[in-house]
Amino acid sequence: MDAVERANLERQRRWTKDQKIGEGTYAVVYRGRELATGRKVAIKKIKVGQFKDGLDMSAIREVKFLRELKHQNVIELLDVFSSKKNLNLVLEFLDTDLELVIKDRSLVFLPADIKSWMAMTFRGLEFCHRNFILHRDLKPNNLLIASDGQLKIADFGLARDFADPGYKMTCQVITRWYRPAELLWGCRYYSTAVDIWSVGCIFAELMLRTPYLPGETDMDQLKTIFRALGTPTEEDWPGHTKLPDYVPVGQFPKTPLRDLFTAASADCLNLLSKCLIYDPKRRISAKDALNHPYFFALPYPSHPSKLPKPAKKESGIPLEEVDGNTDMSGPGPGVKANPPNKLKRKNSDDLGGRPVARRLDFTK
Amino acid sequence: MSTALYPLASLAQIRNTPSRADGIPEDLELDLRAYGCKLIHEAGVLLRQKQVAVATAQILFQRFWYVTSMKQFGIGDVGMGALYLASKLEECPIRMRDLINVYDLLLQRAAHKLKHPPAPAASTSTTLTRTVTHDFKYVPMSYFGSTFYDLKDALVVAEMQILKRLGFNVNVVLPYGTLVNYLRLLGLTEREDVSSRAWGYLNDALQTPVYALYAVPTIVSAAILLATRHLGIALPSSPESCWWELFDADWEDVWSVAGYIMRLYRERSPQDQARVLGLVSKKAVRAWLDDHQPIAPRS
């Protein structure tokens, strides 16, 4: 055994697998622990098919990108080791995901909660984009939630770098409901805007509590989009009729977002509409989204620890959390001026005692 | 994020590479590295693969030999695995079957060359007849034979071993963009001969270990140095205003990289040229080590 094998064995010994918790197309996920600390982790065991094409592309992408990315709102790859013929990725363990949160009918979302999830999503995504990485599969199911409430972007199996502008890429990416029109029309040159569209769909889904644009086929997806947002005109999106797979799918009138999102604030709908602009060039960037007035207006984003979470065994805790949220996001001007003492105390750790206690630092 | 985007070999790894520790002499290791990279390059050309993938494969290949001995893995298998992995990394995957067929052809051709070395160029009339009789003809793998499956197994193992032994750090920074920037900065973009020559040196340097030893700016500076010197272009080079200092390169490092590259072009004896052809597999390397036992233990 040489130095490499020894180092690998040493790494392998740091972790133990406890229980299988899921199985995907190319991997089995186990819950595990770090032996020295007892810290919970997720171990993704990649199946290496001897009769297939060696290591799966998704696994390679995940290793390649997560090795580089370290951010509060991106899942952390703690370690990689191999055992016999398998590749094992050790990831942070995250309790739940946004899809489960959205589906849990017992939870009430306040505008401040939605703002908080959106802020964390945009922060994580801005970090990826700043490092020239496209995620290409954003959906609630891939936004995981840690026990402290932090949202983390996960599953980089479809991610890729886009340093080269003239590089042809496949348009068969992103789960259909979150896929923008340019990809459905076969656009091979695209950029960060595709991820923003997905975030826009997630944003809407958080408010509606049901998928916003659930198309049944790729063709139906276009129809669904246009039915909701109107068919784009040449002026909305110059040149879209020249896209490789362009097909007209009928004329639908534009309806104001306000008709569907009756309870949303003006800022909120403004940001949502900017995420769902047809022309990818005009769609808002993650960085600009973070500086959007929506995030600086009242109610301020909920503190991650205060966000609603699906009830597990201890049902008392989520209730308490909802109570906490009600307190701090109430629309009355009194709350803004003078947040309840209880909250002030709880949040002081993260915010380092700055006077603008609830403003998030987006550039981190 | 750490500031180092790509890993470089440590001093200890450079001083005594795993292959040297196993008794493989330095010059042979360098020859085998170069030959392995040539095979990757040839396979890349035959597969019409993108140069980014080929260059990435060659850099991974060079790094690999700072953590592994050639006694343990053959340069053929690892080269094939590196090209396969790099193609996935650069989002232009190739079919396993195509890669295996191409490598089989290259290995057969090497074996053929070893058996029928090209005659020295001196005697003209006789060589003509000789080359005709020993023309290389590729024999496709037999449908029922095990060659394909053996190569496939080796490929899967090599791919995983490269990942594992490089600690899953598969980040590679290619030098081409940097070269364009530097040439612009030096006002050399008008001279097409400089850019194409320097570009060529960067590509040839892929056959040397420099990409695993020096930072990209140093390697690019060396390519510019060689190109401008060969074309007789003067750049500010006296102390206080040395052009390579603009790029944070040390003269000694630049000179050393230039040396690595120029060594590739030196005259080689037919024996030296033939030697690597027979050492593509680890089996052959082991047999060679057994034959050369008396020399080896000195290291």
Note whether B125 and B52 are same-domain residues.
yes
Position B121 scores a pLDDT of: 55
Note whether A149 and A55 are same-domain residues.
no
Position B120 scores a pLDDT of: 59
Specify if B1 maps to a domain.
Answer: no
Q: Is A37 annotated as a binding residue?
A: no
Specify if A327 maps to a domain.
Answer: yes
Note whether A85 and A100 are same-domain residues.
no
Domain that holds residue A293: 96-306
Return the biggest CA–CA distance within chain B.
69
| Domain of residue B121, CATH code | 1.10.472.10
| Domain of residue A54, CATH code | 3.30.200.20
B79 within 8 A of B100, measured Cβ to Cβ: no
Specify if B10 maps to a domain.
Answer: no
Q: Give the pLDDT mean for B1-26.
A: 80
> By three-state DSSP, how is residue A27 classified?
strand
Q: How far apart are CA B286 and CA B279, in angstroms?
A: 9
Interface contact flag, B160 A68, Cβ < 8 Å: no
Q: Considering CB atoms only, which of A50, A64, A70 is closest to B1?
A: A70
Within 13 Å of residue A83, how many CA atoms lie on the same side as its CB? 16
Position A114 scores a pLDDT of: 94
Note whether B273 and B207 are same-domain residues.
no
User: Is the model's pLDDT at B71 over the cut of 80?
Assistant: yes
Note whether B236 and B254 are same-domain residues.
yes
Domain that holds residue B134: 24-171+268-292
User: Is the model's pLDDT at B193 over the cut of 60?
Assistant: yes
Position B119 scores a pLDDT of: 63
Which of these is catalytic: A97, A113, A137, A195? A137
Which residues of chain A fall below pLDDT 50?
50, 313-364
- Residues of A within 8 A of B85 (CB-CB) are 54-55, 60
Note whether A143 and A53 are same-domain residues.
no
pTM value is 0.82
Note whether A74 and A163 are same-domain residues.
no
Interface contact flag, B85 A60, Cβ < 8 Å: yes
User: Is the model's pLDDT at B46 over the cut of 90?
Assistant: yes
Note whether B103 and B146 are same-domain residues.
yes
Position B122 scores a pLDDT of: 52
Number of structural domains in chain B: 2
Could you read off the pLDDT of B226-273 as tens digits, one per residue?
A: 999 999 998 988 888 899 999 999 999 999 999 999 999 999 888 888
Please state, rounded to an integer, the average pLDDT across all residues of chain B. Answer: 88
Q: How far apart are CA B110 and CA B39, in angstroms?
A: 10
The DSSP bridge partners found for residue A91 are: A42, A77
Tell me the C-alpha to C-alpha distance, in Å, between residue A115 and each of A56, A292, B6, B160.
36, 12, 38, 43
Specify if B2 maps to a domain.
Answer: no
Note whether B140 and B49 are same-domain residues.
yes
Chain B contact present for A74, CB below 8 A: no
Per-residue confidence at B12, pLDDT binned at 50, 70, 90? confident
Please state, rounded to an integer, the average pLDDT across all residues of chain A. Answer: 82
Tokens of B4: 């180092």
User: Is the model's pLDDT at B10 over the cut of 90?
Assistant: no
Number of structural domains in chain A: 3
Specify if B297 maps to a domain.
Answer: no
